[in-house]
Amino acid sequence: MDNKFIAYCGLDCESCEARLATINDDNELRKKVAKEWSEMNKADIRPEMINCVGCRMEGIKFAYCESMCPVRQCAMAKEMDTCGTCKEINSCPKVGAIINNSLEAKERLLGK
């Protein structure tokens, strides 16, 4: 996958508000993202934690994406370009948690 904005799981980091807040150093957007993600994940995510340039980009990443996301860890360990090149994609529960809820992510990975 040439487009490095596309994450291993097929999500588009280019449109992610955490990335936009990071590249624009926008603290108001960091606050908005932290509030939304805290509510969504029932966690205490603070604005200063919102720093990420993208899953497959060189540079800083949100802590979850960096080291806790099972898809990113698995795809890197298998040296996959993305999950789209993995033969387990149709039976994998890890990437399934994303692509079964996002047809767009699935289509990006499968190049449709």
Residues that bind ligand SF4 (CB under 6 A): 7, 11, 13, 16, 18-19, 52, 54-55, 61-62, 65, 71, 74-75, 78, 80, 83, 86, 88-89, 92, 94-95
**What is the nearest approach in angstroms of ligand SF4 to the Cβ of residue 100?**
12
**Tokens, residue 58:** 């060189």
Q: Coil, strand or helix: which one is 39? A: helix
**What is the nearest approach in angstroms of ligand SF4 to the Cβ of residue 20?**
9
The number of C-alpha atoms within 13 Å of 95 and in the hemisphere containing its C-beta is: 29
**What is the nearest approach in angstroms of ligand SF4 to the Cβ of residue 92?**
3
**What is the nearest approach in angstroms of ligand SF4 to the Cβ of residue 69?**
8
User: Is the CB of 28 or the CB of 90 nearer to ligand SF4?
Assistant: 90
User: Is the CB of 28 or the CB of 66 nearer to ligand SF4?
Assistant: 66
Q: How far apart are CA 49 and CA 83, in angstroms?
A: 27
- The DSSP secondary-structure symbol of 84 reads G
| 28, 37, 41, 65, 72 from 83: Cα distances, Å | 33, 24, 24, 15, 9
User: Is the CB of 14 or the CB of 28 nearer to ligand SF4?
Assistant: 14
